[in-house]
Amino acid sequence: MRILAPAIALALASAGLRADDAFTPLREAMVREIAAMSAVTRDETGRAEFAAPVMAAMARVPRHRFVPPDETPYAYENRPLPIGHGQTISQPYIVALMTDLAQVEPSDVVLEIGTGSGYQAAILAELAQAVYTMEIIEPLAIQAGERITRLGYANVQARLGDGYYGWPEHGPYDAILVTAAASHVPPPLIAQLKAGGRMVIPVGAPFMTQYLLLIEKANDGSLSTRQVLPVRFVPLLGGR
C-alpha cells in the first residue's frame, strides 16, 4: 500500500473537510425541514419533535457521502434517492422517524436489515454502542461496508446476508430497524429482539399501502404493535 507523505495527506484531508463544509448549510436546512414535518405528523406518530440526539445525528452525518455522484446535488433534499440495483436511500424524515421510534441509547446493540448505502447504519452508529447491518444485494453490501469503514464508523459491522433471518450471533438486540417492506413481520427477528426492545419495520405489499409499525417486546416476551403512518419502501428480499 502506498503511504502518503504527511503534508500531502494533511492537504487531502483538509480538502475533504472543506468540501464537506460546503454542505453544512444544506444539512442544516434538511434538519429544519425534518423538524417541521415532525410537528405536522405529530397526530400520527405521537411525536411532536424528535429526540435531540437523533436530530444531532442527522445534522452530523454527511448524507452526500452515501449517494451516487450524480445524486450528490440532491443529497439534502427531503426525499428518497436511487442508489442502484433498484434500491433507494430513504427520505431523511423517515430515517429520523425510524431512529426516534427505536429510542436508541448509548449502551444499545442494534440490528439493521437492509444496509443499502449505509446511511441509516451511520445515523445509528452516532447513537448506539454497536450496530450490525445486513444487506442481501452483494454490490451494495460491498460498497456500504467500504464506505462505513472509510468514514470511520468503527462500531458498525456490515455483512452480506439474508436479513429475514437476522444475525443471531450478536443478539438479542435492544432495537431492530428494517429498511425494506416485508409482507409480514419475520419471526426470526422477533426472536432476536431483546425483552424491553423495540422493532421498527414497514409492512405491506409492493405498490400497495404499507404501514410503518412499532413493535415492542415486554419483559415477559409479549408483543405490542402500533401502526405509525403509511409509507412506501422497496420490498424486503429473501426469506419466506
Distance CA 105, CA 103 (A): 6
Residue 35 has pLDDT above 50, yes or no: yes
Q: How confident is the model at residue 210 (pLDDT cuts 50, 70, 90)?
A: very high
Residue 174 has pLDDT above 60, yes or no: yes
Partnered with residue 58 across adjacent β-strands are none
Q: What angle do CA 100, 126, 146 make, to 5 degrees?
A: 120
The enclosing H or E element of 150 equals: helix 138-150
Q: How confident is the model at residue 207 (pLDDT cuts 50, 70, 90)?
A: confident
pLDDT digits (tens, 9 = 90+) for 218-236: 999 999 999 999 999 999 9
> Residue 223 has what DSSP assignment?
E
Residue predicted with more confidence, 29 or 205:
29
Can you list the domains of the chain with their CATH numbers? 6-231 (3.40.50.150)
Residue 238 has pLDDT above 60, yes or no: yes
Q: What is the structure's pLDDT at 11?
A: 37
Residue positions counted in the chain: 240
Q: What angle do CA 33, 38, 40 make, to 5 degrees?
A: 95
Q: What is the structure's pLDDT at 3?
A: 34
Q: What is the mean pLDDT of residues 17-41?
A: 88
Is 90 labeled as catalytic in the residue annotation? yes
Rounded to the nearest 10°, the torsion over CA 36, 24, 154, 215 is: 10
Residue 8 has pLDDT above 60, yes or no: no
pLDDT above 70: percentage of residues in the chain: 91
Residue predicted with more confidence, 28 or 48:
28
pLDDT digits (tens, 9 = 90+) for 107-117: 999 999 999 99
The one catalytic residue in 90, 117, 222, 224 is 90
Q: How confident is the model at residue 208 (pLDDT cuts 50, 70, 90)?
A: confident
